[in-house]
């Protein structure tokens, strides 16, 4: 009688970098004969890849642990990722957790699970963050049309609100040769778009004689991939050479995501960011001077300690004044062991929520204004999914498009006429 196939379920919290890593780890399980199932299904092993950027991410991880135990009380539960690196003892104390693995060992999860079978108690496998140096190329596949390719990990910056250097360690990356090889592997799987991900992508190649621009030039020549997209890049590392290259590139799309965090120089200094209003504005203007159709996304944080009404208004007016396309709005969350937590001028939760709402409304206005420029024009759309009788995809400059369903167009690029701006997306027709 054959042994039943073990079932494993994964859940990922946080950034696209986490998604690329989870996907890579899940392929290891599949290659060893496991059946991958949905997290809501009955499984023998549940793996939670955690985030710890906000307090809510921590809470969500704890909720998922409880959910897994309800689904199968006899299951093994492994918790990996940033929360696992930062608070392993806290996680291990949660009823039902069998294995907690930090940043250095998460890609060896299978080996540690096998060792777990021989132990009675749960295990914590965590290296001191000072000893986390390895880099494992990772990519997501199978979940959607585009693939997220990890090209860099860790961060050498010391932003006062951020736990990522504590959770992921120093900045590191693979070399250009291995990164290109991994991208070629992704291309062979039929993926039309690759999104480059990392903690601080602009730092690619730091400590070597390679840099991000050299990597982009090599990736631009890969056969089989139609589009490359840079997920996010610090404004001080987005140099003019990279901007100019993306404008003439065969495959890199006119879309940048550039964190701002605050439009107040006072707050930027308190955050320990490496730019000011003037530098940021110049960067936006430089991008648009090459191509006015470029989509520019912006991260902004509200409620940082000491952010007065005047500081927030300065941020609001600054964002309103520059020609960007949409916002990702984050509410400041106190994180242990960060300098910002010690700043006494705490902003109330009510005020944080009010400011967040104002910026969400501004983002909607910016997005609608950006979309309006392309109504009654034709744009190449990569169709990613089909739902509710509609095909959904994105243009090269990141306009979300819906059209009436046409079978067979998922993972295809097709010219679409953009006909109606509906705010969150644009209706199109072939």
* CB neighbour list of residue 149: distance below 8 Å, 6 or more residues apart: 20, 137, 138, 139, 179, 182, 183, 186, 194, 195, 196, 197
Q: What is the mean pLDDT of residues 389-399?
A: 96
Strand order in the sheet with 99-101: 35-37, 7-12, 45-50, 76-81, 99-101, 123-125
Q: What is the mean pLDDT of residues 365-389?
A: 95
Q: Name the percent of the chain lying above pLDDT 90.
A: 81
State residue 349's pLDDT score.
96
State residue 121's pLDDT score.
60
Measured between alpha carbons, how far is 157 from 236 in angstroms, rounded to an integer? Answer: 12
Q: Where are the domains of the chain?
A: 7-127, 138-372, 378-429
Does the structure show a pLDDT above 60 at 3?
A: no
Place of tokens 């291309």: 187
pLDDT band (50, 70, 90) for residue 117: low
pLDDT band (50, 70, 90) for residue 122: low
Q: Name the percent of the chain lying above pLDDT 70.
A: 97
Question: In what helix (H) or strand (E) does residue 413 lie, and over which residues does it extend?
Answer: strand 413-421
Does the structure show a pLDDT above 70 at 127?
A: no
pLDDT band (50, 70, 90) for residue 120: low
State residue 2's pLDDT score.
46
pLDDT tens-digit map of 18-64: 999 999 999 999 999 999 999 999 999 999 999 887 777 778 888 99
State residue 61's pLDDT score.
85
Q: What is the mean pLDDT of residues 389-408?
A: 94
276, 316 contact by CB (below 8 A): no
State residue 52's pLDDT score.
83
Q: What is the mean pLDDT of residues 357-386?
A: 97
CATH class entry, domain 138-372: alpha beta
Does the structure show a pLDDT above 90 at 4?
A: no
State residue 143's pLDDT score.
61
Measured between alpha carbons, how far is 418 from 420 in angstroms, rounded to an integer? Answer: 6
Measured between alpha carbons, how far is 250 from 290 in angstroms, rounded to an integer? Answer: 15
- Residues in a beta bridge with 131: none
Does the structure show a pLDDT above 70 at 170?
A: yes
CATH topology of domain 378-429: OB fold (Dihydrolipoamide Acetyltransferase, E2P) (2.40.50)
Q: What is the mean pLDDT of residues 334-361?
A: 96
* CB neighbour list of residue 394: distance below 8 Å, 6 or more residues apart: 381, 382, 384, 400, 401
Q: Could you give the 3-state DSSP secondary structure of residue 334? A: coil
More confident residue, 37 or 134: 37
391, 408 contact by CB (below 8 A): no
- Lookup: tokens for 14: 């946080």
Q: What is the mean pLDDT of residues 183-207?
A: 95
Measured between alpha carbons, how far is 171 from 187 in angstroms, rounded to an integer? Answer: 26
Measured between alpha carbons, how far is 412 from 205 in angstroms, rounded to an integer? Answer: 33
- Residues in a beta bridge with 46: 9, 77
State residue 239's pLDDT score.
97
Mean pLDDT value across the chain:
93
Q: What is the mean pLDDT of residues 324-340?
A: 95
pLDDT tens-digit map of 276-326: 999 999 999 999 999 999 999 999 999 999 999 999 999 999 999 999 999
More confident residue, 4 or 148: 148
State residue 54's pLDDT score.
77
State residue 407's pLDDT score.
80
More confident residue, 145 or 275: 275
State residue 147's pLDDT score.
95
Give me the helices (H) in 93-211, please.
109-116, 164-168, 176-187
CATH topology of domain 7-127: Rossmann fold (3.40.50)
Buried b (16+ CB within 10 A) or exposed e, 57-78: bbebbbebbeebbeebeebbbb
Measured between alpha carbons, how far is 147 from 20 in angstroms, rounded to an integer? Answer: 8
Rounded to the nearest 5 degrees, what angle is found at the Cα of 57, between the Cα atoms of 148 and 97?
100
State residue 119's pLDDT score.
58
Rounded to the nearest 5 degrees, what angle is found at the Cα of 424, between the Cα atoms of 421 and 426?
35
């Amino acid at each position: 009688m054959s042994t039943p196939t073990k079932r494993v379920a994964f859940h990922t919290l946080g950034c696209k970098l986490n998604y690329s890593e989870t996907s890579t780890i899940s392929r290891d399980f599949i290659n060893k004969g496991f059946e991958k199932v949905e997290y809501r299904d009955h499984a023998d092993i549940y793996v939670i890849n955690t985030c710890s950027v906000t307090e809510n991410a921590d809470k969500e991880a704890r909720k998922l642990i409880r959910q897994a135990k309800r689904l199968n009380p006899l299951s093994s539960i492994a918790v990996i990722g940033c929360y696992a690196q930062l608070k392993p003892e806290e996680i291990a104390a949660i009823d039902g957790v069998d294995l907690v693995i930090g940043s250095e060992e998460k890609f060896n999860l299978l080996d540690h699970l096998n060792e777990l079978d021989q132990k009675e108690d749960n295990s914590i496998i965590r290296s001191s963050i000072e000893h986390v140096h390895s880099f494992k190329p990772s990519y997501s596949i199978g979940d959607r049309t585009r693939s997220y390719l990890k090209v860099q990990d860790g961060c050498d910056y010391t932003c006062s609100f951020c736990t990522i250097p504590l959770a992921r360690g120093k900045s590191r990356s693979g070399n250009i040769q291995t990164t290109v090889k991994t991208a070629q592997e992704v291309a062979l799987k039929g993926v039309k778009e690759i999104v480059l991900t990392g903690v601080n992508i602009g730092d690619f190649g730091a400590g070597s004689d390679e840099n991000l621009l050299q990597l982009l030039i090599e990736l631009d020549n890969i056969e089989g991939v139609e589009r490359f997209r840079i997920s996010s890049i610090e404004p001080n590392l987005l140099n003019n050479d990279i901007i100019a290259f993306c404008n003439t590139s065969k495959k890199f799309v006119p879309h940048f995501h550039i964190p701002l965090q605050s439009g107040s120089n006072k707050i930027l200094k308190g955050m320990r960011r490496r730019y000011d209003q003037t530098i940021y504005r110049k960067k936006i203007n430089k991008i648009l001077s090459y191509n006015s159709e470029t989509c520019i996304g912006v991260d902004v944080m509200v409620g940082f300690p000491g952010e007065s009404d005047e500081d927030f208004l300065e941020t609001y007016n600054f964002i309103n004044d520059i020609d960007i396309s949409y916002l990702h709005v984050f509410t400041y969350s106190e994180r242990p062991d960060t300098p910002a937590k010690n700043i006494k001028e705490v902003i109330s939760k009510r005020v944080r929520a009010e400011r967040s709402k104002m910026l969400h409304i501004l983002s909607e206005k910016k997005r609608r204004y950006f979309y309006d420029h392309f109504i009654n024009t034709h744009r190449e759309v990569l169709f990613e999914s089909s739902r509710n009788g509609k095909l959904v995809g994105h243009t090269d400059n990141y306009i979300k498009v819906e059209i009436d369903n046409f079978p067979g167009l998922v993972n295809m690029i097709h010219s679409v006429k953009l006909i109606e701006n509906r705010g969150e997306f644009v209706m199109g027709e072939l």
